[in-house]
Amino acid sequence: MILRKPVEVEFESTGKGVQADPWTPARGWEARAPLRWRLSLLTGVVCAGAVGLMTLVTYGLVGSLMTADIDSELESQSTALLEYTLAADPTEDIADQISTFKGFHPNTRVSISPSEWTYSYGDSIPVGGELNPTETQSQTQTSVRTIGQERVITKQHSSGAVVVLARDLAHTRELISTTGTVLVVIASLGILMALLAGMWVSKTGLGPITRLQRAADYVTQTNDLRPILVVGSDEIAQLTISFNEMLSVLQEARIQQSQFVADAGHELKTPLTSMRTNIELLLMVNKPGAATTISEQDRKELEEDVLAQMTELSTLIGDLVDLAREDASEKKAEVVELHEVMETSLERARRRRPDVEFKVRIEPWIVQGDQFALGRATLNLMDNAAKWSPPSGVVRVTMHQISDYEMRLRVDDSGPGIPPEERDKVFERFYRSAEARSMPGSGLGLAIVRQVIERHEGRIMVKESPDGGTRMEVILPGQPGSGRSYEDAGLEGEDSGSERREIFAQRWFNQT
């Protein structure tokens, strides 16, 4: 509706959390690549990233666990050797123990230095690294380090005894490398399966969209607006429902357009046919040497009839243009001083029917909307009341505030009135009652009025006026305006009192 303030949204192409403009076409490869391939690639990249990350984590975890297992084994072995060194004969038992140990662990070198000795038994292994106290034995310090292809552990007692073990890591590193190769193969297969899964997911997921596209192509090619079958209740189903609603609106608009064209053609045909007949008759009697002649009075009446038909045709075309204008896109709302619009419409209505008396009371009122459309609607209401009022009849126009946000406009005539069964039909396009067919008019005036009022979020009703004529009552939202009330010719007596009582009752009802 025109009274709703449009929401202004700024769209930006960059920035975190900023919505992109949905009407701006995308650029780059994503605009050229099909959606299926983009979805497949996206799924594959996500899965490949996950598989790659898990491969790296697994490879590092396996290496760390194997190294920790070697350290734990060297720790227990060095502890046992150190305890044996502290209790054994330094000259015989240590050498035998080293030989026995190396027999069971051929890939481990051993160096033992007893307490208070300046040399060591076994292999030549450098002692180094930062010695840290052992948690379980406060008199022992341990150092663990990697030298070349060996993992070296040094365990030193406070008495001076030192045990050094060096384990060859070639086999372990070969095993870790093999494990990495296997993981790379598994990751590659996983990435390939992810790409295939992405293609399958895109094909399956985009199936309903492809079906919707075929339906849109069918509508474009055949102009058949039949609805599409809705399957499921997911987002694609909701999109299909929205598409069907759009097709329904298009179908309704097409029917209205066809009906409007048919009705307009029919209404235009009648005055054109009559005008053509009269003009041909005038041409025939004015043709030199014509055998048929008519009197001057008949000629004058015929010319007046042609002019009246031209006026009727011009009015009908103007009404059609106004109606088409109301059907078109809405204009931006503006502040409208409705009381000023009413005064302008009143002056025009009085010039058209100087034999009808207008009694007016108007209060200042402001609405948000289209000033031209409101002026056309109010003029149509007054013209319609004046048309049905007899000569020396009275048209009463009152506009009063009935609440803090609503105004009531009444236009009463002194004509024959409208039967209750026809009151809803008078707002239909081209509708004319049996009594109205003998009077000038196109049957579009009140249709335009209702369309304008509803576009401004108002409502219009047909009632009976106090003197038996027709009352057109309009309720429009807005707010009180500034300035003085306009009153012309006065509205005194019973009608004025009932008007005040109704306004008081309405305001009391709104407050309670």
What average pLDDT does the segment 349-356 reach?
Answer: 86
The yes-or-no verdict on residue 511 having pLDDT over 60 is no
Q: Is residue 21 in some structural domain?
A: no
Least confident of 217-226, 347-356, 361-370: 217-226
Q: What is the DSSP string of 32-66?
A: HS-HHHHHHHHHHHHHHHHHHHHHHHHHHHHHHHH
Note whether 246 and 173 are same-domain residues.
no
Residue 394 contacts residue 411 (beta carbons within 8 Å): no
What pLDDT digit, counting tens, does each position of 388-426 carry?
888 888 999 999 889 888 999 999 998 888 888 887 777
Note whether 323 and 340 are same-domain residues.
no
What does DSSP say about strands 357-362 and 394-401: parallel, antiparallel, or unpaired?
A: parallel
d(CA 87, CA 141): 18
What pLDDT digit, counting tens, does each position of 50-104 carry?
888 888 888 888 888 888 888 888 888 888 888 877 776 655 677 777 788 888 8
Q: Is residue 10 in some structural domain?
A: no
Comparison of pLDDT for 149 and 340, the residue scoring more = 340
- From 292, 310, 328, the end of a domain falls on 328
What average pLDDT does the segment 445-474 reach?
Answer: 87
Least confident of 91-95, 198-202, 324-328: 324-328
d(CA 502, CA 495): 11
Give pLDDT, residue 171: 83
Residue with tokens 């009552």: 473
Note whether 406 and 501 are same-domain residues.
yes
Give pLDDT, residue 375: 85
The yes-or-no verdict on residue 18 having pLDDT over 60 is no
Note whether 277 and 307 are same-domain residues.
yes
Note whether 58 and 197 are same-domain residues.
yes
The yes-or-no verdict on residue 314 having pLDDT over 90 is no
d(CA 323, CA 445): 9
Note whether 258 and 194 are same-domain residues.
no
Comparison of pLDDT for 400 and 205, the residue scoring more = 400
Helix (H, G, I), strand (E, B) or coil at 377: helix
The yes-or-no verdict on residue 8 having pLDDT over 70 is no
When pLDDT is cut at 50, 70 and 90, the band that residue 474 belongs to is: very high
Residue 341 contacts residue 375 (beta carbons within 8 Å): yes
What percent of the chain clears pLDDT 90, i.e. is strictly above it?
A: 7
Q: Is residue 92 in some structural domain?
A: yes
The yes-or-no verdict on residue 506 having pLDDT over 60 is no
CATH number of the domain encompassing residue 386: 3.30.565.10
Give pLDDT, residue 503: 47
Note the maximum CA span of the chain. 162
Q: How many residues does the chain have?
A: 512
Q: Is residue 15 in some structural domain?
A: no
Residue 125 contacts residue 166 (beta carbons within 8 Å): yes
Residue-range definition of the domain harbouring residue 119: 27-205
Candidates 110, 112, 97; CA nearest to 167 is 110
Note whether 313 and 394 are same-domain residues.
no
Q: Is residue 401 in some structural domain?
A: yes
Q: Is residue 17 in some structural domain?
A: no
Give pLDDT, residue 292: 64
What percent of the chain clears pLDDT 70, i.e. is strictly above it?
A: 76
Give pLDDT, residue 49: 82
Give pLDDT, residue 367: 93
What does DSSP say about strands 406-412 and 140-147: parallel, antiparallel, or unpaired?
A: unpaired
Note whether 350 and 447 are same-domain residues.
yes
- From 276, 304, 328, the end of a domain falls on 328
Strand partners for 401: 407
Q: Is residue 22 in some structural domain?
A: no
The yes-or-no verdict on residue 351 having pLDDT over 80 is yes
Within 13 Å, how many C-alpha atoms sit on residue 247's CB side? 19
Note whether 68 and 181 are same-domain residues.
yes
| Environment class of 372 (CB within 10 Å of its CB; exposed 0-12, middle 13-18, buried 19+) | middle
What residue ranges in 98-178 does DSSP mark as E strands? 108-113, 121-122, 132-133, 140-147, 150-157, 162-168
Candidates 347, 402, 357, 355; CA nearest to 379 is 347
Give pLDDT, residue 439: 57
The yes-or-no verdict on residue 1 having pLDDT over 70 is no
- From 328, 360, 381, the end of a domain falls on 328
What pLDDT digit, counting tens, does each position of 263-306 carry?
667 667 767 777 888 788 778 777 776 666 777 787 787 887 78
Q: Is residue 347 in some structural domain?
A: yes
Give pLDDT, residue 326: 56
State the total domains in the chain. Answer: 3
Give pLDDT, residue 409: 93
Q: Which helix (H) or strand (E) holds 240?
A: helix 235-286
Please provide the average confidence, as pLDDT, over all residues in the chain.
76
* DSSP letter (8 states) at residue 494: H
Within 13 Å, how many C-alpha atoms sit on residue 335's CB side? 7
The yes-or-no verdict on residue 316 having pLDDT over 80 is no
CATH number of the domain encompassing residue 275: 1.10.287.130
Residue 490 contacts residue 36 (beta carbons within 8 Å): no
When pLDDT is cut at 50, 70 and 90, the band that residue 136 belongs to is: low
Note whether 181 and 304 are same-domain residues.
no
Note whether 265 and 350 are same-domain residues.
no
d(CA 210, CA 338): 53
The yes-or-no verdict on residue 476 having pLDDT over 90 is yes
When pLDDT is cut at 50, 70 and 90, the band that residue 444 belongs to is: confident
d(CA 144, CA 141): 10
The yes-or-no verdict on residue 363 having pLDDT over 50 is yes
Within 13 Å, how many C-alpha atoms sit on residue 186's CB side? 15
Note whether 347 and 311 are same-domain residues.
no
Residue 131 contacts residue 156 (beta carbons within 8 Å): yes
The yes-or-no verdict on residue 331 having pLDDT over 70 is no
